[in-house]
Amino acid sequence: MREMAGLDEGAPLFVQVAERLADEIADGTLPEGERVPSTNELAAYYRINPATAAKGIAMLTDDTLLEKRRGIGMFVAAGARTRLLAERRKRFAERYVQPLVAEAGRLGIDADELVTLIRESSHGQGGTRP
Amino acid sequence: MSTWISVARYQLTDRYTFVTGPWTILGLDFLITAAIVLGYPGRNGQVYAGALSAIYVYLVVTGALGIARQLPFALALGVSRRAFYAGTTLLAAAIAAVYALGLTVLQLIERATGGWGLKLHFFRVPYLLSGPWYLSWLTSFVGLALMLAWGMWFGIVYRRWNLPGLLGFIAAQAVAVALVLVIIGGADAWSSAGRFFKALTVEGLTGLLAVLAVALLAGGYATVRRLTV
Amino acid sequence: MTPAISVAGLSRRYRGQLALDNVSFDIGSGSITGLLGRNGAGKTTLLRIIAGHEFASAGSVRVLGARPVENDHVLRQMVFVREDQAYPDFRVGKAVQAASWFYPNWSHERAGALLEEFRLPLNRKIKKLSRGMRSALGIVIGLAARAEITLFDEPYAGLDPVARQIFYDWLLADYAEHPRTVLLSTHLIDEAAGLLERVMVIDRGQIVLNSGTDELRGGATSVSGPAIAVAEFTSGRPVWNRRRVAAQESAVVAGALDEADRARAAALHLHLEPLTLQQLVVHAVGSPEPPARERTSA
């Protein structure tokens, strides 16, 4: 397959483009008020159709994470990061904790042991920020 | 109209087929004829070469190649069959006019130099090309245009039906000529046909050839319209 | 808005053989559409009819709202780059120059840059070019023309991967600046996947799939692992294809998977892999069953 800056065929490309931008907003790489790349810039970078890139941006605009400033471009909306993180925390439990607990159960690891494992892993990585 | 001119320019890009080829052939032909005349210095009578026909024959090839080679790419560039044919016809008319002028000028030079000093009649043809210069030009123009139109139709037939079509087309022309002869013979009209041609002036003949050229152009147009590439 | 290309009930018959069988679709203006299908499926015939190079046996074709056949107004806004293009006996530079005369929006700058990128020798006769270079010439003309309707029929026969990459990148770059309607027939689906907004799959003269690419992506997943687990996971789901060896099984499940599905698959120790666009197209055309000794039917 043609190299598309890490996009894959597993999900709609516009969703993946939106997720990449959302990741950057969540980790602060794209701070609030910052201009996001234009449709054509994204298209050239990912080597995808500009319409697909535009759909990705539209998805974030619909979620009010981005806002349009007429004649200048798209910018990260105020409060975007906070809203994004809140939503992601909510999804974290179902996406990661539940499978983790299920797999632990299959391996005979009880809850206390699991918590210990998480602590050790966390220390190993020098601790994680909340 | 602007597309027609673009087509004419596009066709003319193939300089060899349209310019270099015909004049090279004619030039070589002239040199060979002159060499032959020089090789037999004993002859003092006038020499009629008849080799001028080379450029006419070559223009059939020009018309055929111009169409057959250049049509598919032109269509790919968004040129309609009609515009392609019109542009090619425009170029053919221009070429026939300019080349006829060239032949006329050469004929005048030939006259002025006593047949290039060799009593050679290369650009002068008795009856056909021996009148005033403008009549020579007109007859040459119509003759050259006729050859180009004929060639163009050949080219279109080849593009549309390939080699079998080309052979069929030649056969059909032979049959048409034979039919005319049979009809004349059947009507016992040989003597009147003879009288007709005897009475025919160069102007009249030129007119007939012009009608034939237009008929060939119309035939080519009818064939190109349903051509596929 | 009128679609850029509108085809309705189009059929083309050659001596009793149906090359196109009641084909209908619309293509919106300002889009890149992939026309996919096997050899002889009818791709070239369809493009030739759209370009007015071939005639329909039945049905209608409208380009920019009008019939394209012998319609100068429509044809002037169209360029058709064919794999099997018959060129005149021109040199490369002359052919490009001649092409520029027919397009009001022609970009000399783009043409020059592309000729350089593809390393095309301007002074060489076209008939002396290699197959790949001839394809490159077609691409230069197709892109520099900036025609509202741009048709590419297998434009990269014989092109090396580097040159194909140049084609994709320049198509995207030029398209971003000058949007137009591009219809591209290709076999190299995965390579072109990122460019395409929409794919149409044609098989035996019929359109068997016509969908936005992003609606297809993630639309089917290959599930593999222990046969019992695969059976458990796939029960109640539409399965396209199943293969099995000993206790291992691989199945293709249609329909998108959600978070819960993924979690369940992980718990069952199943390996999930989304089907690529190419694989989806192969399924749409109806891939033959592999000649495996042991297999269960779907």
Residue ranges of the domains in chain B? 2-224
pTM of the model: 0.87
Does residue C296 surpass a pLDDT of 50?
no
**Contact residues of C toward B, CB < 8 A:** 48, 51-55, 70-72, 75-82, 85-90, 94-95, 97-99, 101-103, 141, 145, 147
Does residue B202 surpass a pLDDT of 80?
yes
**CATH C-level class of C5-216:** alpha beta
Does residue A1 surpass a pLDDT of 60?
no
Residues of C in contact with A47 (CB under 8 A): 168-169, 172, 194-195
pLDDT tens digits, one per residue of C141-150: 999 999 999 9
- Strands C220-226, C78-82: pairing kind: unpaired
Among B115-124, C16-25, C90-99, C221-230, the minimum mean pLDDT is found in B115-124
Does residue C210 surpass a pLDDT of 90?
yes
Q: What is the 3-state secondary structure (H, E, C) of chain C?
A: CCCCEEEEEEEEEECCEEEEEEEEEEECCCEEEEEECCCCCCHHHHHHHHCCCCCCCEEEEEECCECCCCCHHHHCCEEEEECCCCCCCCEHHHHHHHHHCCCCCCCHHHHHHHHHHCCCCCCCEHHHCCHHHHHHHHHHHHHHCCCCEEEEECCCCCCCHHHHHHHHHHHHHHHHHCCCEEEEEECCHHHHHHHCCEEEEEECCEEEEEEEHHHHCCCEEEEEEEHHHHHHHHCCCCEEEEEEECCEEEEEEECCCCHHHHHHHHHCCCEEEECCHHHHHHHHHCCCCCCCCCCCCC
How many beta carbons lie within 10 A of that of residue B162, not counting itself? 10
User: Are A13 and C274 a contacting pair at CB < 8 A?
Assistant: no
Give the pLDDT of residue C287. 56
Identify the sign of the CA torsion A53, A55, A58, A63.
negative
Interface ipTM: 0.88
Domain ranges of chain C: 5-216, 220-285
- The mean per-residue pLDDT over the stretch C169-179 comes to 93
Residues of C in contact with B228 (CB under 8 A): 48, 53-55
Residues of C in contact with B75 (CB under 8 A): 51, 53, 80
Q: Which residues contact A84 (CB under 8 A, 6 or more apart)?
A: A22, A25, A26, A65
pLDDT tens digits, one per residue of B20-58: 999 999 999 999 888 888 877 666 556 666 789 999 999
- The mean per-residue pLDDT over the stretch C84-108 comes to 95
Distance from CA of A76 to the nearest CA of C (A): 23
Classify A69 as helix, strand or coil.
strand
Give the pLDDT of residue B42. 60
Residues A4, A86: Cα–Cα separation, whole Å: 30
Domains by residue range for chain A, with CATH: 13-78 (1.10.10.10), 91-124 (no CATH)
